[in-house]
Amino acid sequence: MSITKICCIGAGYVGGPTMAVIAQKCPHIQVTVVDLNEERIAAWNDENVDNIPIYEPGLSDIVAEARGRNLFFSTNVEKAIDEAQIIFISVNTPTKTYGKGKGMAADLKYIELCARQIARIAKDNKIVVEKSTLPVRTAEAIKSILDNTGNGVQFQILSNPEFLAEGTAVTDLLNPDRILIGGDTSVEGQKAIQSLVDVYANWVPADKILTTNVWSSELSKLTANAFLAQRISSVNAMSELCEKTGADVNEVARAIGMDSRIGPKFLKASVGFGGSCFQKDILNLVYIAKSYGLNEVADYWEQVIIMNDHQKRRFSNKMVQTLYNTVADKKIAFLGWAFKKDTNDTRESAAIYIADDLINEQAQIAVYDPKVSSRKVLADLDYLETRTSEKNSANVTSFSDPYEACASAHAIAVLTEWDEFIAYDWQKIYDGMQKPAFVFDGRNILNRVALESIGFIYQGIGS
Ligand code: UDX
Ligand code: ADP
């Protein structure tokens, strides 16, 4: 089937950039991205492309090129479903916060709502593509909902996991390491796979497009994220040992990364990984393993999360200890709130947990992040439900100028690796701070020797 109309349900960090790139690379295909969130769609349609709701380097240029030509953002979910031949489901699948599997399993209520909506509206055959990270065997559930509507429409369900990393979404989408498409082994299933392969073949070389069965595709996504996160927890575990023994984790990482079997990527010790995927996907993997009675497998992967939580807690404890065992009423400046650089996403960001710990110690937190709003910072803390919103507001202030955030602070915590932090006038920052002035570099991006020569007391991770 030649594809001319695609719809994507969910205009978030995955759906938005992915569809923008498909539209740019396939001008003959009409791509409509729909979302229930009116504010979000209005922002995607904002005349000024710099106001689109997701910050990703290069994204606004692509949206400017394709929007109104063959890329559309709308809240009319029904119309888009009705018209499309391929429907991507890109809605959020957070970890469940209630009931069975609470804190572990993925909450599929948004997915199920989408499936029911598609079932209700579709009048002709559709290919439904899972784009969100989903537990293995979700496709089966979607299929069961779609096939039992009784209106005779045929659905093919494909799994097409997204491997883009935030902050580099556009380059990842333009030059993917691989595209993975899982589908049914039946003739109809293979035809559906081919239709989606043909879409990607507009810009991705054929040898990078892999096709598998649905379950392999779903599990590959969880496995890739578990392996990546495991590397970070492994290097973070070594960082603690380095701090005790006088080794430098940056040197250790460089040395082991030159072993071609290990490779240099994802070996950067940090205050802990964040983001919407790693923790959620591993918890999901753990839940699936447990549900099959595979307790050793579950425990093995759970340790990656336990190590990550430990790393965050260890960082805040170390700050308090170093600051003479009290941070009460002390101003602590946070450079960075996003979970990594070049994104405005803060989901599971280590900064949230470090702030939470320090507020428990009655610190005053001053936040500067080049892309995160003060509203978001407070919403992230309120979401933890550790204390009232009023109390969070009383202890946390956001600044739009980093020098103001650091003025008269006792310490600075670097929590996101934004490049601009490196270029600051650190002498000026030092001059404005309480003495002794401390820097806790949770990303190991600053120059220790230069800072120490100014007079700072510097602590990085793992050295
Ligand atoms: C991840 C996967 O990389 C991507 O393929 C998948 O589709 C979604 O999940 P993302 O969460 O956007 O992407 O960012 P990623 O670059 O993987 O970073 C995740 C976290 O790990 C960040 O907090 C980052 O700062 C941290 N990290 C990464 C480290 O602490 N050390 C490293 O060496 C690499
Ligand atoms: P991701 O990182 O997976 O893209 P986001 O939370 O950024 O996650 O985006 C998911 C989007 O899906 C949100 O904007 C949300 O409003 C939207 N969404 C959730 N359920 C539905 C639904 N049934 N119909 C349309 N949009 C939905």
* Cβ of 223 below 6 Å from ligand 1: no
For the residues of 145-201, what is the DSSP string, one character each? HHHTS-S---EEEEE------TTSHHHHHHS-S-EEEEE-SSHHHHHHHHHHHHHHT
Residues with active-site annotation: 277
* Cβ of 268 below 6 Å from ligand 1: yes
The conformational region for residue 387 under phi > 0 = left, psi -120 to 50 = alpha, else beta, is beta
| Residues flagged as binding site for NAD(+) | 10-15, 35, 40, 91-95, 132-133, 166, 277-280, 347
For 416-436, write each residue's pLDDT tens digit.
999 999 999 999 999 999 999
CA-closest residue to ligand 2 atom 25: 35
**Lookup: tokens for 220:** 């590959």
* Cβ of 11 below 6 Å from ligand 2: yes
* Cβ of 15 below 6 Å from ligand 2: yes
> Per residue, what are the HEC states of 298-313?
HHHHHHHHHHHHHHHH
What pTM value is reported for the model? 0.94
**Lookup: tokens for 54:** 């997701």
> What value does the mean pLDDT take over residues 170-176?
98
pLDDT of residue 135 exceeding 80, the answer is: no
Q: State residue 143's pLDDT score.
A: 87
pLDDT of residue 252 exceeding 80, the answer is: yes
Closest ligand to the CA of 230: 1
pLDDT of residue 151 exceeding 80, the answer is: no
* Cβ of 162 below 6 Å from ligand 1: yes
Question: 276 exposed, middle or buried (CB, 10 Å; 0-12, 13-18, 19+)?
Answer: buried
Q: State residue 293's pLDDT score.
A: 98
Contact status, residue 183 vs residue 213, Cβ threshold 8 Å: yes
Q: Give the atom of ligand 2 at the shortest distance from the alpha carbon of 14.
A: 4
pLDDT of residue 92 exceeding 90, the answer is: no
pLDDT of residue 150 exceeding 70, the answer is: no
Ligand 1, residues 92, 131, 232: which to mutate, most atoms within 8 A of Cβ? 232
pLDDT band at 94 (very low <50, low <70, confident <90, very high): confident
Average pLDDT, whole number, for the chain? Answer: 95
> What value does the mean pLDDT take over residues 108-126?
91
For the residues of 214-262, what is the DSSP string, one character each? HHHHHHHHHHHHHHHHHHHHHHHHHHHHHHHHT--HHHHHHHHHTSTTT
Ligand 1 centroid, distance to 452 Cα (angstroms): 30
158 to each of 129, 143, 161, 217, 452, how far by Cα in Å?
5, 10, 10, 9, 55
CA-closest residue to ligand 2 atom 19: 91
Q: State residue 177's pLDDT score.
A: 97
- Quote the percentage of the chain above a pLDDT of 90: 90
359-383 CB burial, b ≥16 within 10 A, e <16: bebebbbbbbbbbbebebbbebbbe
